[in-house]
Amino acid sequence: MADRIILDGALDWQDIATVANGAELVLSAATWSRIDAARAIVDALVEREIRGYGINTGVGALCDVIISRADQQTLSRNIIPSHACGVGEPLGKAETRAVMAAQIANFAHGYSGVSRPVVETLLALLNADMLPIIPSRGSVGYLTHAAAIGLVLIGEGECRHGGTLISGSEALDRLGRVPLALQAKEGLSLVNGTPCATGLGALAVSRLSHLADWADAAAAMTYENLGAQSDPFAEMPLALRHSPGLQQVGRNLRQWLAGSALLAQSAGSRTQDPLSLRAVPQIHGAVRDALVHVADVVDRELASVTDNPVVAGSPEAPEVHSQAHAVGAALGLTMDSLATAAAELAAISERRIDRLVNPLVSGLPAFLAAGSGVCSGFMIIQYTAAALVAENRRLAAPASLDGGITSALQEDILTHATPAADKALAILGNLQTILAIEVMAGAQAYDLQSGSADKAKRTAALYQRVRQNVPFYRDDRPLNAEVAKVRAMIGILSAQLDGDAR
């Protein structure tokens, strides 16, 4: 992982994910110049008393109420606590860092007009890992999440640092900074735009990219234990289906299973394997194709200005434009798509788990248990996988269609981009657990194979890595604790095993 990301132009989803996982974010000199130039335009708008939404007017349904220059600073500050009304458990560390990085990237385009101290303070908090507490519920778009960050900038709210909670004022004091006196437009810019959904969306893309590789690895383990079709993932017939994702999965499976004596001994004993085994390239591949589209949308959002209003021109000829760039329809739709794709990947994994534990089809000891009758083995952990798949099905209902009316009919269509990203991340969490169960079941199945045929080189290496974390299961300890160990392994380890299985 890179230790530093330099923001010079637009960031992409990989940059956001890298910062989310701990890298420092640094702005180039050109970026600071853009920020300063945009602030000079806002100052000119204020000086010339040119009407601009949230600059010298109220916000939402109060957009036609003119605010005097004397009250503009009060308006800017008041926006933050009034919008900080989120509820529920706070976002995690990576999620918070992703949102903050996307917010800084939005200001860095140079069309928002926030002052340098605002961005400097955000950067200082991010890079010192003093992370604002952001309640995860109560947003139809972006306002409540972003306001929780803004609270800390004005010396209010709370931060998480080193595993402890500190006040926003203490966090600023530790950084040698003072609470900001927000100027015209800054309060609105701090709660505006799509950085919440974009940051969470970038994290979702990163996690699904990682878990897609693990899904292929888990499927290879299961197929090696249960497969019987001769040459099921051959390159030529797979190439007849036009799908880059399918071709990638086919290559991955051929590499995982290359040289498997275990698979060779059963090859050809069945004309066609069940779809949960045979259709891995088609289903996993479709997920990968969908992921490419989602990643493109997230990158386009990161390259876009999503503030409202935007400022342009020059201090001599300042311009302010009220658009709807803060509406996250593209992100809402694409996060719904990612959620469905991740749920599909989890669903086929659970079907493969069922085949591993089901003595009616596996040819292995019932439920992969160590002893007949006296041990339940993996019987009930398959129930857990089924429950998580059912939960995913509920979570995969589209958030982008929820709609709603707020602010006295002024905001009368809502696209729910942030909730869409949040539930996509929840599905990805369930997917990671289900894949951990499949990987554990695959390792258990290897130990229960009746013959002595060797595994493929790569699956053998993966099996050894699993056994370094959890031993063979004999109903002698809670199985959920073992799943948690493998789940953690999946979270930090590349499915490629960093080359040691090649």
Span 358-371, pLDDT tens digits = 999 999 999 999 87
Q: Which residue is listed with tokens 């878990």?
A: 211
For range 268-288, the mean pLDDT: 94
The average confidence (pLDDT) of the chain is: 91
What angle separates helix 329-357 from helix 417-447, to the nearest 10 degrees? 20
CA dist 310 → 192, 193, 240, 371 (Å):
11, 11, 49, 68
State pLDDT tens for residues 195-211. 999 999 999 999 999 99
Query: Phi, psi at residue 22, to the nearest 5°?
Result: 120, -10
**Strand 4-7 vs strand 24-27: parallel, antiparallel, or unpaired?**
parallel
State pLDDT tens for residues 428-471. 999 999 999 999 999 999 999 988 899 999 999 999 999 999 99
Q: Of these residues, 53, 142, 463, 473, which one is catalytic?
A: 53
State pLDDT tens for residues 331-383. 999 999 999 999 999 999 999 999 999 999 999 999 999 877 789 999 999 99
Question: CB-based contacts of 74: which residues, under 8 Å, 6+ apart?
Answer: none
The DSSP secondary-structure symbol of 309 reads S
Look at residue 410 in the predicted model and tell me its pLDDT: 60
Cα–Cα distance for residue pair 10/17, rounded to 1 Å:
14
Ramachandran bin of 65, using left for φ above 0, alpha for ψ from -120 to 50, beta for the remaining angles? beta
Confidence check: pLDDT of 263 > 90: yes
Q: Are 498 and 217 in contact (CB under 8 A)?
A: no
Look at residue 413 in the predicted model and tell me its pLDDT: 59
Residue from 23, 169, 87 nearest 159 by CA? 169
Look at residue 325 in the predicted model and tell me its pLDDT: 78
Cα–Cα distance for residue pair 367/444, rounded to 1 Å:
10
Look at residue 416 in the predicted model and tell me its pLDDT: 76
Confidence check: pLDDT of 163 > 90: no
Task: Report all structural domains of the chain as residue ranges with CATH numbers, in order of start.
Answer: 4-192 (1.10.275.10), 202-351+362-499 (1.20.200.10)
Q: Are 175 and 150 in contact (CB under 8 A)?
A: no
State pLDDT tens for residues 121-148. 999 999 999 999 999 886 776 778 999 9
Question: By three-state DSSP, how is residue 406 classified?
Answer: strand
Q: Are 73 and 181 in contact (CB under 8 A)?
A: yes
- Kindly indicate the confidence band of residue 394, based on its pLDDT and cuts at 50, 70 and 90: very high
Cα–Cα distance for residue pair 440/434, rounded to 1 Å:
10
pLDDT above 90 covers what percent of the chain? 74
State pLDDT tens for residues 24-72. 999 999 999 999 999 999 999 888 888 888 788 877 666 677 777 778 8
Known active-site residue 446: no
Share in percent of the chain as helix, strand, coil (round to 5)? 60, 5, 35
For range 86-103, the mean pLDDT: 95
Look at residue 76 in the predicted model and tell me its pLDDT: 85
- Kindly indicate the confidence band of residue 500, based on its pLDDT and cuts at 50, 70 and 90: very low
Predicted structure pTM score = 0.94
